[in-house]
Structure formats: C-alpha cells, structure tokens
Amino acid sequence: MKTVTVGLMAGVVILWSAQFVLAQQGDATAGKANFAKSCSTCHGADGNSPKEAIAKMLKAEIPPLGASDVQAKSDDEIKKVITEGFQKMKPVKGLSDKEVSNVIAFFRTIKKP
C-alpha cells in the first residue's frame, strides 16, 4: 500500500510539474507572425537575410539567426535579447511573455543559412 501511495504522489508531482514546462513552450506559427511584425525589418523574413543597409546604418553586424553560434544560445539568453536588447539592437516592446515564447519557438525553426 505504501508503494502505491508513493507512486501516486510521484505521478501527481510529475503531472503538476509538466504544466510549467508546457506553459513555457511556444507556438512557432504564432511566433512567425510576431517575428514578421517585430524582427524581420532587420533580420529578414526568414531570419537568415539580415538587411545590409540597416547593418551599415547602425554600424553593426546582424547575424543570420540560423547560424550555429546563434542557435546555440539558450532560450533564456534569446528571451533576454528580445526583451532587453543587445548591443545596438533595441528591445522589442509590447510582446507578452507568451508572445516572446512563441517568437523563441519560431526562432528554433530557423535553419542554418
């Protein structure tokens, strides 16, 4: 009986924890729409076609988002770049936490150029 109780409690804890993991996962399709609205001006529609004119104007490098070193960043690092900016990139304003998660999910679909 004790084994059954411990097993049930462990199952409840696992299911309870899973809700937080699932809540953090984004929807790449919805993220693509947010990306198109907020990011594609500089990064290109596919994320791998940075706009050279903007890079020159800012005197900054805009990396292809599918590059290995960019994709190696953690979701938390990408979230920080989106919400706080990075170097000459300004933070993206007006996105909810869910929308940021969606953009990150889309970001993860961008393949190496």
Please say if the pLDDT value at position 24 is more than 80. no
Over residues 29-39, the mean pLDDT reads 96
Residue 7 lies in a domain: no
Distance CA 34, CA 64 (A): 18
Which domain, by its residues, includes 81? 27-107
Rounded to the nearest 10 degrees, the angle between the axes of helix 97-107 and helix 75-84 is 120
Between CA 75 and CA 94 the distance in angstroms is 19
pTM value is 0.76
Residue 4 lies in a domain: no
pLDDT score for 23:
43
Whether residue 55 is predicted with pLDDT greater than 80 in this model: the reply is yes
**Helix H or strand E encompassing 16:** helix 2-24
What mean pLDDT is predicted for residues 41-69? 94
CATH number at residue 92: 1.10.760.10
Domain count, the chain: 1
